[in-house]
Structure 1
């Protein structure tokens, strides 16, 4: 499976924002081979999830242009429960995202798009 088996929309804030509660099944494809015996979720998977869930919340975003202020500040392991928060800024064609486990930030950044926003 590519995405968390349990992903539910958490209460959203202002327009252009969304939040998802994610339960990370140890059988997720992203954990396979990264690293055997000590699995962690790769950063590229976290960025992919941010885009996937943003499009689920806001519709098509447009063509990917790049990443800015990307930070992976703590390891994501199987079985963790994360909150993914998203904030879309159509005028700047950008999406801010952050993954957190309680008060611990795991990753954050800004994804830039061109087109549909």
Structure 2
């Protein structure tokens, strides 16, 4: 699935916030669901992993386990921001999606450790 368009990004080592554009025309809304398009939760986790891999230059991005809390549905044309934090020592990525200042989902992903 194509990543959403990045409107802005800001941050520092270990932490970044990415502002995303999610127009109705984005492929994530096609068929999910007809008449009431929503951003699937599995895509939110996938996008968090993919952006984390890119911005934190992760060697591997295989999730060993994850916790996620969905607070409300995300629809098309919302201003959405994704905050990511990487804890290299613990091997975890935490994420938080916000729309209009409200947390819409958040979670923690523990990455598989390679010996």
Distance in structure 2 (CA, Å) of the matches to 1:78 and 1:84: 15
Distance in structure 2 (CA, Å) of the matches to 1:95 and 1:61: 13
Q: How many residues align?
A: 113
- TM-score norm. by structure 2 comes to 0.89
User: Paired residue for 1:82?
Assistant: 80
User: Paired residue for 2:6?
Assistant: 7
- TM-score norm. by structure 1 comes to 0.88
User: Paired residue for 1:18?
Assistant: 16
Local SS of the residue matching 1:18:
strand
User: Paired residue for 2:93?
Assistant: 95
What stretches of structure 1 of length at least 5 have no aligned partner? none
What stretches of structure 2 of length at least 5 have no aligned partner? none
Distance in structure 1 (CA, Å) of the matches to 2:16 and 2:83: 6
Are 1:40 and 2:38 counterparts?
yes
